[in-house]
Amino acid sequence: MKIAIFHSIRTKIFASHLLLILVIIASLTYQHHKNEINNTVSMTTAFHQEAAIPLISDISTAISGGNYSNLLLPKFKTQLMNTPDLLYLKIVGRSDNRSIPIEVQFDREVCQVWRSHFPLNFQQNTKDRIERIQARLATNEGDIVKLNYLLNRAKEALNTFELSNQLEAKYHFDFDNNNELNTSYFDREKNILFLSLPTTNSAGGRVDMVYDISSIKKVEHVILFDALSELFVALAIALPALGLLSFHISAPLKSLSKCMKRDIKDIDTTKIPEQNRHDEIGELSTEFTHLIKKMAIHTKELEYLTRNDPLTGLLNRRSFNSLLAEIQVKNRSKYVAIMYVDIDHFKKYNDTYGHNLGDIALQKVAQVLNDNTVDENEKAFRVGGEEFVVTLNISNLEQAITRSEKIRKMVHELEIEHKTSPTEKVITISAGVCIYTKQDLLNTTIEDVVDYVDHVQYQAKHNGRNQIIICDKHISNQANHSNFA
C-alpha cells in the first residue's frame, strides 16, 4: 500500500510541484529578506554619514590649524559621547600651514579622547627636557615659576604619551580592510558599522568611525518574521491549489486506469471517461477508445476464427466439443437429434475437379446445413474435411425423419456435378442420426456421442450412400432404423 501511495502520479505531481513552490517561495523570501536588511543598513549608513557632517566640519577646522587642544577638550569629548551609537573614532590628518601630523582617537568604553601620534623620540626627548628643567630648578637658576610651569607641561606631555600608548595597545580597531576615503563596511557578526569620511581641510585627512548598530538585529528579526509570515501565507494559498491541480490531473487518470483494468468485453466505449476533455488527458482517452474499438473488432475476429471454420463459416470441431452441453441445456424441445453428415466420394471429387471446386462444393453443402438450423439453439458444425454435424431440436421421431431427409434432398438438388461418383453423378450425402434426451447428453461424453453417430453414418455409407439412417434407441416403441433412398 505504501509503495502504491508513493508511486502514484498524484503523489508525484503534488511532491514535485510542492518542492518547486517551496524553492521559488523560499528564494523570493530570502531575496526579500536580504534586500530589506541591505536597505536598512544602507539607510543606517546614510543616516550616520549625514549626522557626521557637523562633526567632520569641526574636526577639519582643528586639523587645518594644527590645533590638538581643540580635539582634546572636554567639550569635544562630550560632543562625541552625545553622538548616537558612536563607539570609536580615529582622526588622521595634517595641518594646512606646516603639515603637522594630527592623530587623535576616541573610545566610548573608557570615555577618553587621546592623542595617538607623537614625533620620533618624543618620550626620550621629553624625559631629557624634564631632567634639564629639574637641574635648573635645583640650582635656582632662572624664573622659578616659569620653570615649574614648563616642568608641569613636560610631565603632562609625558603622561599623555604613556596613556596614549596604553590606550592604543588596548583599544584599537582594525581599519586595514577599510582604509579608503568615502567607504563603509558592515560587520554582521559584530553588528558594527565602519565609516571612513574625508576631512575638508586643504592638506586632507580622514575620520574613521565605528558605530554600534545592534538595533538592526531587532529590525532584522521583524523583517524575518514578516518574511516567514509571507512564506506561510503563500504556502497556505499554494497547497490547496496544488492539491486541486494534482487531483484534477490524477483523478481522470485514475478513472481511465480503472476503466483499462476491465475486460475488453465489459468496456462500453461510449462510457469511457474524459473523452470530452480538450487536453492531453482527453487525447489519451480518445486514443484509448479507438484502441478498444480496434481490439474489440480483432477480438471478435479471433473469436470467430477460434469458433468457426474459415472456409464454410460453420462452427468447428472445437466449438462442437464445447457447445454440445450448452445446446442440450438450452434446448426447449423434448429431444435433440444429432446428425452426422459425410459427403459421398468427396476425395474422388477433389481428385477430378481440383481443390478449388472442392472448396466451393463444401461451401454449398455447408450453406444447406446452416439454412436448416432454424432454431437459435440448433447448430451446424464442420468437424472434418467433408464431415459435418447438425443438431436439431425435435419433439418426436417423425420430425427427425422429416428434417434430416429434407437436408439430404436439398444437397441432392444442388446438382453439383460429380461424374466419377460410383453411385450418383451429382454430389450426395450420407448421414447417421441419433436421438438423445437432455438426460442422455448429461450422462454421456462428447466422444461417445461422436463415435456412436459416426458408426450410424458409416452404416448409411455401407448401405449404398445418399441415404439417412436414424437410430431410435432413445425413443421407445419406435422403429429401429429408417432408411431413405
User: Where residue 430 falls among pLDDT bands split at 50, 70, 90?
Assistant: very high
Q: What is the pLDDT of residue 357?
A: 96
Q: What is the pLDDT of residue 437?
A: 84
User: Where residue 171 falls among pLDDT bands split at 50, 70, 90?
Assistant: low
Q: Going by C-beta distance under 8 Å and a sequence separation of 6 or more, which residues neighbour residue 12?
A: none
Measured between its terminal Cα atoms, the distance across the chain in Å is: 75
Q: What is the pLDDT of residue 5?
A: 46
Respond yes or no: is residue 301 known to be catalytic: no
Catalytic residue among 103, 274, 378, 386: 386
**Is the pLDDT score of 335 beyond 60?**
yes
User: From CA 234, how far away is CA 221, in angstroms rounded?
Assistant: 20
Angle among Cα 102, 108, 111 to the nearest 5 degrees reads: 80
Q: What is the pLDDT of residue 299?
A: 81
Across residues 440-452, what is the average pLDDT?
84
**Is the pLDDT score of 32 beyond 90?**
no
Residue range 339-368, pLDDT digits in tens: 999 999 999 999 999 999 999 999 999 999
Query: Across the chain, what does the average pLDDT equal?
Result: 81
Q: What is the pLDDT of residue 350?
A: 95
Q: Going by C-beta distance under 8 Å and a sequence separation of 6 or more, which residues neighbour residue 73?
A: none
The share of the chain scoring above pLDDT 90, in percent, equals 29
Residue range 113-169, pLDDT digits in tens: 888 777 677 777 778 778 887 777 778 777 787 777 777 877 776 777 777 767 666
Dihedral over Cα of 452, 454, 458, 460: its sign: positive
Of 174 and 323, more confident: 323
User: From CA 48, how far away is CA 212, in angstroms rounded?
Assistant: 11
Q: What is the pLDDT of residue 327?
A: 64
